[in-house]
Structure 1
Amino acid sequence: MKPTSEQLLASISQTGMIPVFNHKELEVAKAVLDAAYTAGIRVFEFTNRQNNALEVFKGLKIYAEKYKDMYLGIGTIFTVQQVKEYLYADADFIVSPALIPEVAKYCQMKGVFWVPGCATVTEVFQAQKLGAVLVKAFPGNLLGVDFIKAVLSVMPGLKIMPTGGVEPTEENLQEWFRAGVTCVGMGSQLIKKDLLQDKKYDELNEKFTQTISIIKNINQKTEKS
């Protein structure tokens, strides 16, 4: 049974972040997943960006079965056919870089948590009409915190996640969370290529842990203010 929106949002809120990752080698993907899980991450997005992404995802999903409370989803999804393939591979949720109505409707029909990429107020509005409970602001580095503030000023109940260019620093994360984001999606800024090349997974684990701690502290300060 697929996790509910409530279950996924609860897990995301624990850390305030979703790692966004892809690699052509399954063993590397396993090591990154291990580093993320031991740091406290429970929602992880693998992305459909390599020719063998589906095969790697299948292996990673089987490997992740040892983590009973880890939700593993797939990103960079553009078509219903891709949704079908990854749901057959037991993906827990679907993320798209764009607002794609047919993908939304299929995920709704299957009861699957779906996160669309949006870059305008119109797209955000349409995404909500199509049933999205979490919207991805993409590309985050181009839209910026002012976009978040503007959208939330007219849609105050919106749950929004910037992805693309989000940095694992206190200064950058503070800007996003003070603007009102629910969580952030973090890829290459967090999971550095040099750490993967040198197999420095302990350092990656520390990076995950530090980032979670920064977000937690920011959120605690925001709640008190």
Structure 2
Amino acid sequence: MMGRIPDALPFLRENPIVPVVVIDDAGAAVATAQALVAGGIGCAEVTFRTDAAPEAIAAMAGVEGMTVGAGTVLNRAQAEQAAECGAKFFVSPGWSAGVAEVAAERNIPYLPGVQTATEIMMALEWGATAVKFFPGGEAGGLPMVKALRGPFPHTAFVPSGGVKLANMGEWLADPAIASVSGSWMVGRALIGGGEFEEITRLSREASEKVKEIRR
């Protein structure tokens, strides 16, 4: 019997920015999480693109004020591993029934990646309330989201890919957008170079921008 994905909207309403974090050395995980929190951002999507991801998720999960999730989750095995490490949400570049099963079983919100109406319908069958629109810029940007919102008026979108400080205001001003996802404030090079004060500065800049848009 098909399960139901938990409602992601409460989490997204509290976190209008979902940073995409790529960590090569888990030893930098705690400092990265602390830098984000200091800049006013309380969540992070740690991608499974590196071997350090599971350990990094576990380390960041212990940082006060931080809700850490797993990104680039491609299959059930990765979802199980992420959950065991303390991930509080899953994000995928596309749809995975295996990841959805783990999300339903463990009551963990799941943001599957979509580009088409068919993919949104697949997510809706599992009870998804929000989806990741990926890649946001290359897949048609906000005009495409507006077009998809027509037949899916109750689905929230989280654009990822092509989102940056300069255009996040345009995205967040649209009622179809629950949150935005990006990596400009926590780039891989910044983490690798130990530039945590810069991560905090960029995070604070982004957080202040959100307050201007949604006050």
CA-CA distance at 1:85 after TM superposition: 1.2
Instruction: State the partner residue of 2:214.
Output: 219
Question: Which of 132, 139, 144 is the matching residue for 1:147?
Answer: 144
Q: Distance in 1 between matches of 2:70 and 2:185?
A: 18
| Moved beyond 6 Å, runs of 4+ | none
CA-CA distance at 1:5 after TM superposition: 5.1
Instruction: State the partner residue of 2:130.
Output: 134
Q: Distance in 2 between matches of 1:55 and 1:89?
A: 7
* 1:138-177 equivalent positions in 2, closer than 5 A: 138-143=134-139, 144-169=141-166, 172-177=167-172
Please state which structure has a larger fraction of its residues in helix: 1
Q: Distance in 2 between matches of 1:126 and 1:94?
A: 16
8 Å contact kept, 2:17–2:179: yes
Q: Distance in 2 between matches of 1:126 and 1:88?
A: 26
Which consecutive residues of structure 1, in runs of 5 or more, have no partner in the other structure? Answer: 221-225
Bigger shift: 189-198 or 117-126?
Answer: 189-198
After TM superposition, the score normalised by the length of structure 1 is: 0.84
Question: Which of 81, 89, 92 is the matching residue for 2:88?
Answer: 92
8 Å contact kept, 1:139–1:165: yes
Which consecutive residues of structure 2, in runs of 5 or more, have no partner in the other structure? Answer: none
Q: Distance in 1 between matches of 2:50 and 2:172?
A: 31
Q: Which letter maps to 1:113?
A: P
Q: Distance in 2 between matches of 1:111 and 1:197?
A: 33
8 Å contact kept, 1:46–1:73: yes
Calculate percent identity across the aligned residue pairs.
26
Q: Which letter maps to 1:160?
A: F
Q: Which letter maps to 1:173?
A: M
Q: Distance in 1 between matches of 2:51 and 2:93?
A: 18
* 1:1-225 equivalent positions in 2, closer than 5 A: 9-61=9-61, 63-64=62-63, 67=64, 69-143=65-139, 144-169=141-166, 172-179=167-174, 180-187=176-183, 189-220=184-215
Q: Distance in 2 between matches of 1:22 and 1:200?
A: 14
